Amino acid sequence: MNKNKEFLYLQLADKIEKMIGAGAYTIGDKLPSVRSLHREHGISISTALQVYTHLERQGWVEAREKSGYFVQFSRQGLPQLPPVSNPVQTASKVQVSERVAMIRNTSSNKHIFSLIGASPDTSLLPTAKLNKALRQAAREESKAYIPYSDVTGYEPLRRQIAKLSLNWGGAVTPDQVIITNGAIEAATLCLRAVAKAGDTIAIESPTFFGLLQAIENLGMKVLEIPTDPVTGVSLDKLEEVFKKKKVQACLFICTYNNPLGSCIPDNSKKQLAQLLHKYHIPLIEDDVYGDLHFAPERPKTVKTYDRDDLVLYCSSFSKSLAAGLRVGWIINSRYHEKLAQLKFMSSASTGLLPQLLLVKYLEQQRMDLHLKSLRQALSIQSMQMTKGIQQSFPADTRLTRPAGGISLWVVLPPKVDTWELHRKALEHQIAFTPGALFSSQPKYNNCLRLSNATPWNDDLAWAVQTLGKLICKQLK
Amino acid sequence: MNKNKEFLYLQLADKIEKMIGAGAYTIGDKLPSVRSLHREHGISISTALQVYTHLERQGWVEAREKSGYFVQFSRQGLPQLPPVSNPVQTASKVQVSERVAMIRNTSSNKHIFSLIGASPDTSLLPTAKLNKALRQAAREESKAYIPYSDVTGYEPLRRQIAKLSLNWGGAVTPDQVIITNGAIEAATLCLRAVAKAGDTIAIESPTFFGLLQAIENLGMKVLEIPTDPVTGVSLDKLEEVFKKKKVQACLFICTYNNPLGSCIPDNSKKQLAQLLHKYHIPLIEDDVYGDLHFAPERPKTVKTYDRDDLVLYCSSFSKSLAAGLRVGWIINSRYHEKLAQLKFMSSASTGLLPQLLLVKYLEQQRMDLHLKSLRQALSIQSMQMTKGIQQSFPADTRLTRPAGGISLWVVLPPKVDTWELHRKALEHQIAFTPGALFSSQPKYNNCLRLSNATPWNDDLAWAVQTLGKLICKQLK
């Protein structure tokens, strides 16, 4: 009898949890009252109350006095945040590409349960509308993609990108934009425009290995700056470095850093812009995750506050529309001529076909509506992945709580070796990204990055659970 | 009366010349007999004879005993060939990008009569069929271009490229192919795979400035090898360099070099492959013009004879189908893993959309037929440009006679300064490529490159004529 009742409330709680997961209810939504659960599901008031108590305990629901129950991303009972990072404060050579190659080779296996996802799952993207735009481009611009394009890219797309900058308070003109083969090429061109081999670049710690590779690629060095998992790079430490003239430039993902998910608050971004001005040091701002904010408001960028044009803003459509299009861009005037020259030397110009498609899409489809539903899905997936980790990982696991983006950073007890864990997980067909890839120093080997790019499902749940078991095994 | 007759034969000769230009008659075709001209055009036998005598003198037509008149590219009366180049035999730094940037800026002006054309004019390309392939890709592969692609490129396209290698006697498998953002990225990745900053690369002299820039880009040096305008790089001089261990690798356009149009004969290509083997030196073979042979037979490549996998073969669809697609490729196994890693670091992977289009095109359309008509057009345009130069340039002008490709190399008397000429020509809205861009040394400033990428028309004729006048003016 008791068991049966327990079964009933768990069943209904599970149903509501799934509806939240599917986006039927989203963060902030009011849930049905206890009374309406009682009426509509033929359960007792006390069972209905049990449903919400359970969901509350799981962190899915918040009770507001005299108002009822609301969907929320409860912080109650969540793992502690990772500490501010503490990298060694000396410039060092980067040598991550060998390790990255090892991971890359394993992750291309199609039979793997991937927790790696570097861009949102295809099911979250407006494929039908992109395809409509493609067919329209084929119909209306049937010859436009044949010859070489302008080295800076297709003018109508540069115009659209200039418009998109309004979202973060930019006032950009099309002639400040250079279209690139994704954001990695963009960052590479920017690095070459402001620094040369042997120079030192300030980066966040940890930092996305793709950026570390770009720096390694160019024979530059890095200086890793302590980074807070919520508010990003430490401006005090950065100013010390600026004072001592230790770096030639900065390369930061200021909004939803990969892997930390940290976001420099708007007023600190403004302060950072002032620091750049004071010491006359350029910043390459990689903003590929900027549109993926879980809260309604889009954060600003450092570029927003950049009166000196010292910020070389980089972004792409890889995280918001389609990574396979390989279209990114740079916004900057100060280094424009140099950047255009480097682009011409590196790849002549960016292919026209994806640019034509993007122009049709941006002109005629509602990207804002797509982004709204994408953000909602990513926010829920982030919450679900967090729950999964909370349920299966050791109790002293530390975990980020990003307010946007597509990654979670897990800090495990120092004893855990995630490089070895990766090897073990592969035996179970599970892939994640080991922490050691995210630094030039021998650090973060007890950390790992998990992606919330894919809608939560039983396979993912199983993979996270299995990973938890493997970690516990290592700890014994 | 006499004048009238003269007018008649010139009128008809002009008509036939235009028909050749339009491709109605092509090289090797038999022309109507003198008797049939007489009958069908109501002219006397002697006037008909005059028509052919005139065309013969112009180099359009060849009389074969007892067979009649045939369209040919007569060498009679053509400018002398340029001498074998004689660059200084020491390694030197490359610094062409400033000069290239100056030219690039002027040539993007749309109101200019361009003799620059780096890829065949759109009117020569199968735009309708490419577009059909695009619509088909949009229909059948509507989601395939959304996610990141494999770092080495879309497998079905790698399979098609492997098949195309049969044309030059290659036996390539899809896993040896890496798809790139055009041939410039391909060459850059190859340079990085075989050499590092400070190393010296053997190149032809003159050499395409895009390759010089790629080398400059990477901080490498060049050693220019004497090059024959017909048979390409001197193998004797090359072996001397190999013996003295002066270079880390070679980068040659072995077939229809840009700008010379030189083509290393097949047996010398074989010999070159043996030299590479003997001294264990890799060759980056840029074969973007290989399909553009004017004679029926496609030349082989050095890769054809490469038993050691020391040749890193690079090509693209930019000169044969559409430069705006920005799709090139590398064929090599020895450096495959390194190349894949470098590709991943540089641009993650190549965009999928153009790759999908190309697969549909190559699977379902007759690229061989397109290439046949493209080659014919380029061959005739080369002839027409040659005639134009012959008619307007100083008598002691030297000129290449390429058997393929899209450029002509003009060597003017030493007194002429083509950098200055370029400035003057721009005042008349005419753009060409000054010779100084094609070397790391202060050479070729009396030379220029003209393109035969565009169908001959009155504007081109006027531009070449005006250029001739400006040169003569400089010489006075």
Angle between helices B2-21 and B45-57 (to 10 degrees): 50
Q: What integer pLDDT is reported at residue A94 of this predicted model? A: 92
Say whether A148 and B101 touch across the interface (CB within 8 A): no
- CA–CA separation, B442 and A241 (whole Å): 43
Among candidates A97, A323, A344 on the partner chain, residue whose Cβ is nearest the Cβ of B345: A97
In 3D, which of A454, A470, A457 has the Cα closest to residue A408? A454
> Does residue B370 register a pLDDT over 50?
yes
Q: What integer pLDDT is reported at residue A18 of this predicted model? A: 78
Q: What are the two backbone dihedrals, phi and then psi, of residue A161, each rounded to the nearest 5 degrees?
A: -65, -40
Say whether A324 and B145 touch across the interface (CB within 8 A): yes
> Does residue B424 register a pLDDT over 80?
yes
Say whether B354 and A351 touch across the interface (CB within 8 A): yes
- CA–CA separation, A70 and A437 (whole Å): 39
Q: What is the DSSP letter of B320?
A: I
Say whether B325 and A145 touch across the interface (CB within 8 A): yes
H/E segment holding residue B3: helix B2-21
For A165-197, the pLDDT digits (tens) are 999 999 999 999 999 999 999 999 999 999 999
Q: Which of B100, B181, B370 to mutate to test the interface with A (most CBs of A within 10 A)?
A: B181
User: Given pLDDT bands bounded at 50, 70 and 90, which one contains residue A272?
Assistant: very high
- Smallest CA–CA separation between A171 and chain B, in Å? 26
- Smallest CA–CA separation between A219 and chain B, in Å? 10
User: Given pLDDT bands bounded at 50, 70 and 90, which one contains residue A74?
Assistant: low
> Does residue A347 register a pLDDT over 90?
no
User: Given pLDDT bands bounded at 50, 70 and 90, which one contains residue A2?
Assistant: very low
For B319-331, the pLDDT digits (tens) are 999 999 999 999 9
What is the biggest distance separating any 2 CA atoms in chain B, rounded to whole angstroms? 77
Count the alpha carbons within 13 Å of A82 in the hemisphere toward its beta carbon.
32
Say whether B324 and A149 touch across the interface (CB within 8 A): yes
Q: What integer pLDDT is reported at residue B109 of this predicted model? A: 63
In 3D, which of A46, A89, A433 has the Cα closest to residue A258? A433
Give the range among A64-78, B56-70, B442-456 with minimum mean pLDDT. Answer: A64-78
- Chain B residues close to A134, C-beta within 8 Å: 134, 138, 353
Say whether A351 and B324 touch across the interface (CB within 8 A): yes
Q: What integer pLDDT is reported at residue A197 of this predicted model? A: 93
Q: What integer pLDDT is reported at residue A1 of this predicted model? A: 39
How would you classify the pairing of strands A447-451 and A200-205? Answer: unpaired
Residues 6+ apart with CB under 8 A from B116: B107, B431, B432, B433, B451
- Smallest CA–CA separation between A2 and chain B, in Å? 49
> Which amino acid type is present at position A321?
L
H/E segment holding residue B349: none
> Which amino acid type is present at position B104?
R
User: Given pLDDT bands bounded at 50, 70 and 90, which one contains residue B73?
Assistant: low
- Chain A residues close to B340, C-beta within 8 Å: 101
How would you classify the pairing of strands B61-64 and B68-71? Answer: antiparallel
Q: What integer pLDDT is reported at residue B232 of this predicted model? A: 97
- CA–CA separation, B149 and A180 (whole Å): 17
Q: What integer pLDDT is reported at residue B241 of this predicted model? A: 97
In 3D, which of B475, B467, B476, B473 has the Cα closest to residue B391? B467
For B84-137, the pLDDT digits (tens) are 999 998 999 999 988 888 887 665 566 788 899 889 999 999 999 999 999 999
User: Given pLDDT bands bounded at 50, 70 and 90, which one contains residue B2?
Assistant: very low
Residue of A nearest to B101 (CA): A341
For A427-447, the pLDDT digits (tens) are 999 999 999 999 999 999 999
- CA–CA separation, A264 and A281 (whole Å): 18
What is the biggest distance separating any 2 CA atoms in chain A, rounded to whole angstroms? 77
Among candidates A125, A143, A347 on the partner chain, residue whose Cβ is nearest the Cβ of B184: A347
pLDDT above 90 coverage of chain B, percent: 72
Cβ neighbours around B240 below 10 Å, total: 13
Domains of chain B as residue ranges with CATH? 2-71 (1.10.10.10), 150-364 (3.40.640.10)
Calculate the average pLDDT of chain A. Answer: 92
How would you classify the pairing of strands B177-180 and B328-331? Answer: antiparallel
For B299-319, the pLDDT digits (tens) are 999 999 999 999 999 999 999
User: Given pLDDT bands bounded at 50, 70 and 90, which one contains residue B1?
Assistant: very low
Dihedral over alpha carbons B325, B331, B332, B333 (to 10 degrees): 90
- Smallest CA–CA separation between B313 and chain A, in Å? 17
- Chain B residues close to A353, C-beta within 8 Å: 134, 324-325, 351, 353-354, 357
Q: What integer pLDDT is reported at residue B60 of this predicted model? A: 78
Mean pLDDT of all residues in A224-247: 96
pLDDT above 90 coverage of chain A, percent: 72
Q: Extract the tokens encoding B244.
A: 């003295």
Q: What integer pLDDT is reported at residue A41 of this predicted model? A: 86
For A33-63, the pLDDT digits (tens) are 889 888 988 889 888 888 888 888 777 788 8
In 3D, which of A363, A361, A399 has the Cα closest to residue A382? A399
Could you report the predicted ipTM of this complex, rounded to two decimals? 0.86
User: Given pLDDT bands bounded at 50, 70 and 90, which one contains residue B57?
Assistant: confident
Say whether A324 and B357 touch across the interface (CB within 8 A): no
Say whether B122 and A146 touch across the interface (CB within 8 A): yes
Among candidates A108, A145, A197 on the partner chain, residue whose Cβ is nearest the Cβ of B322: A145
For A453-467, the pLDDT digits (tens) are 999 999 999 999 999
Mean pLDDT of all residues in B391-414: 95
Q: Which of B119, B129, B143 to mutate to test the interface with A (most CBs of A within 10 A)?
A: B143
> Does residue B75 register a pLDDT over 70?
no
Taken in order B252, B255, B260, B265, is the CA torsion positive or negative?
positive
- CA–CA separation, A330 and B87 (whole Å): 40
Q: Extract the tokens encoding B142.
A: 């509507």
> Does residue A325 register a pLDDT over 80?
yes
Say whether A146 and B127 touch across the interface (CB within 8 A): yes
Q: What integer pLDDT is reported at residue A75 of this predicted model? A: 59
Give the range among B48-62, B109-123, B378-392, B429-443 with minimum mean pLDDT. Answer: B48-62
In the numeric block, the tokens 């220029």 are attached to: B448
For B203-245, the pLDDT digits (tens) are 999 999 999 999 998 999 999 999 999 999 999 999 999 999 8
- CA–CA separation, A80 and B69 (whole Å): 91
Count the alpha carbons within 13 Å of A202 in the hemisphere toward its beta carbon.
29
- Chain B residues close to A146, C-beta within 8 Å: 122, 125, 127, 130, 322-324
Q: What are the two backbone dihedrals, phi and then psi, of residue B474, each rounded to the nearest 5 degrees?
A: -60, -35
Say whether A138 and B135 touch across the interface (CB within 8 A): yes
> Please, is A473 exposed, middle or buried when counting C-beta atoms within 10 Å of its C-beta (0-12, 13-18, 19+)?
exposed
Q: Extract the tokens encoding B343.
A: 């590709």
- CA–CA separation, B73 and B386 (whole Å): 10
- Smallest CA–CA separation between B310 and chain A, in Å? 23
